[in-house]
Every structure is written in structure tokens, then in C-alpha cells.
Amino acid sequence: MKTRKGTEADLERIKNEDIADCVDEDELRVVEGPATLEGSYDPSGKTVLVLGDLTVNGNVNIEETATLVITGTLRCRNLYLEGNLEVQGATEVAETIFGYYEGGTSDLRGTVTTRVLLIGNHDLVVKKSKLTAQHRFEFDNFQKPKPKKLPEATVREVLSDDAFRHLSDLLGFTEDKSPDIAKAQRLLSRQGFLRAAG
């Protein structure tokens, strides 16, 4: 995506105060939208403001070092949340929103639609009345003892065998190992978490 240097007026477009406080004018890059990307988008180590809609035909990965602000609608296949994300319009995720790390804030201000919301200690700000998710699985990244068990049969119906294997400890189904979030994130990026329709 072609970008330009951000200005003070661009900084004022950021509505979430916590996110705005993390952004310096010198590091802000601005995309004049609407923008469409083939493949996936990972703004790691960057601070990006999209003026208008952002459509990504693959996944959007907001890792710990990323800040992404979209003044319009975000559309993508899967959305991984660690860092800072603000979407002022709708958030339309075809498959899974997976929020794990508590280091950032995701402020989804418009309607949010997804098949699966899988959320841990990540600071997700969304009004319940604006959220539509066929399945919602919540967990606590650091809770000991393990979190209250989710209905395993339902989780297995929704998640692929690979996703269940990578996430089973995190979701409270096993206690024999620590979850490998890096592997889970790569799986989400490569093929997603959902069981194929059959």
C-alpha cells in the first residue's frame, strides 16, 4: 500500500485515547483509502492510519508492535489481535477473530460480524449489541487453575483438529503443556481455525 507521512490532523482522527497516546506523528504512515490487498496484511512494527475502508482478501495480523487505525470498514478472512487496532466503521471477519495478548487494545466501534470470536486477555472494546458471532469462546491466558471448561463437543465441532490441538490447553481441555501461541497464530494465518464444512 502506498503511504504518506502522517500529520497532526491525521493524529486527531484517532478516537481511542489509549491508542492515540501510543502514536507519534513522526512514525505515523497514512493510506488514502479505500484500499484492497491480496493475501494477508501484517503491519508489525508500524503505525498505520487508513482513511476509509480496508479490504484484505486474507488475514490481518495485529502483532504486539503494530498499531492500525481504520476510519472506515475492515473486511478480512481472519483477524489476529495482540497490538493496537481501532476500526471506526464495521468489522467484517469471514472466519475467526482471535485476541490473545493483553499488550494492546482493539477498539471496534461499529458492528462486528464473525463466525468465531476466540478471546483471551486482549483488551477488546466492542458493544455487545453490535457483535454478531456464531460462536464465542473466552479464556484467561494466565488463570490458574485452568478456566471453567467450555463445552468440548461444541468447540470440536467448530475448530479443526489442528486448531483444537494447538489451543486445547489455552481453552482448559488439557494441562500437560503450555499453549504455543506462535504455532496457533501461524495456523490461523496459513489455513484458519475452522473445521471445513462437510
Residue 23 CA, chain-centre distance (Å), reads 19
Cell of 129: 449489541
pTM: 0.89
- Residue 125's alpha-carbon distances to 18, 107, 143, in angstroms, are 12, 5, 21
Cell of 170: 489455552
pLDDT per residue over 9-23, tens digit each? 999 999 999 999 999
pLDDT per residue over 118-166, tens digit each? 988 888 999 999 999 998 888 766 554 344 556 788 888 888 888 887 7
* 3-class state of residue 155 by DSSP: helix
pLDDT per residue over 24-42, tens digit each? 999 999 999 999 999 999 9
Over residues 71-99, mean pLDDT? 96
Give the phi and the psi of residue 164 in degrees, each rounded to 5. Answer: -60, -45
The residue written with cell numbers 508500524 in the block is 46
